[in-house]
Amino acid sequence: MHKRYGGTVAIERDIPEATVSRLPLYRRSLVELASKGESTVSSARLAELAGVNAAKVRKDLSHLGSYGVRGVGYDVEYLLRQVGEALGLDVDAPVVIVGMGNLGQALARYGGFESRGFPITAFIDSDPEKIGTEFDGIRVDHLDDLPRLVQERGLSVGIIATPAWAAQRVADRMVEAGIRSILNFAPTIISVPPEIPLRKVDLATELQILSYYQQRGSVEDGRSA
């Protein structure tokens, strides 16, 4: 059912958005299973670990053209490779953080990125006090240095951790400099050319959503887990 091109990598077209957003979840569960030495896993078990239901797991995995074995389940290692490949994680994507305030610094020190293929490789700030200082052995540079840094270090992901008023400008400079995807933590809407994937994380927004469900006798929250 799923086309493979030439017998090689086979990057599948059009995985539904909802599925894409769950793949990292499955990946995390598979890593855990692998580290425990489990060699196969059923959709039911994987669903439990990922906090979704089994039908969803099977449908999602079917979009990868994936290989389960009826009556047995999925091969953990194989599936892990498939998922990683679908997400494009076979190659590292070096990250630059712009805005070394509280949040930027916390993100810089947060271990979870390096280990998952997103080495943090450059820092940018506009405060002359900060420029030239080092963080984790990496120099903090000026926004004007970004094009050079993208070149030299192959930066591909930009994280915006600036105040809201600076975010659009930073995004524009990132795009100009050749950054290829952007994660925005500033609490404001920014716009970028359609070929640049953009996601946002807004902390206050999350609390407000919780507030809604708390206020009413919430039964479920959708974005479960």
Partner DNA sequence: GATTGTGAATTGGTTCACAGCG
Partner DNA sequence: CGCTGTGAACCAATTCACAATC
Cβ closest to a second copy, residue 94 vs residue 147: 94
Is 189 one of the binding residues for DNA (CB under 7 A)?
no
Residues 107-111: contacts with CB within 8 Å, 24+ apart? 107/159, 107/161, 107/185, 108/135, 108/136, 109/136
**Nearest of 78, 64, 89, 88 to residue 30 by alpha carbon:** 78
- Positive/negative CA dihedral, 147, 150, 153, 158: positive
Least Å distance, CB 224 to DNA, is 9
Least Å distance, CB 210 to DNA, is 16
CA distance 90 to 143: 29
CA distance 57 to 50: 9
- By CB under 7 A, the count of residues binding DNA is 28
Cβ closest to a second copy, residue 70 vs residue 134: 134
Least Å distance, CB 50 to a second copy, is 7
Q: What are phi and psi of 214, to 5 degrees?
A: -75, -40
**Nearest of 80, 123, 70, 79 to residue 101 by alpha carbon:** 123
> Site for DNA (CB under 7 A): which residue of 29, 43, 105, 168?
43
Least Å distance, CB 20 to DNA, is 8
Binding to DNA by CB under 7 A, coded x per residue (else -) over 47-86, reads -----xxxxx-xx-xx---xxxxxxxxx------------
> Site for DNA (CB under 7 A): which residue of 1, 204, 219, 225?
1
Q: Who's near 37: CB < 8 A, 6+ residues apart? A: none
Cβ closest to DNA, residue 74 vs residue 118: 74
Q: Which residues here bind DNA, judged by CB under 7 A?
A: 1, 16-19, 41-44, 52-56, 58-59, 61-62, 66-74, 222
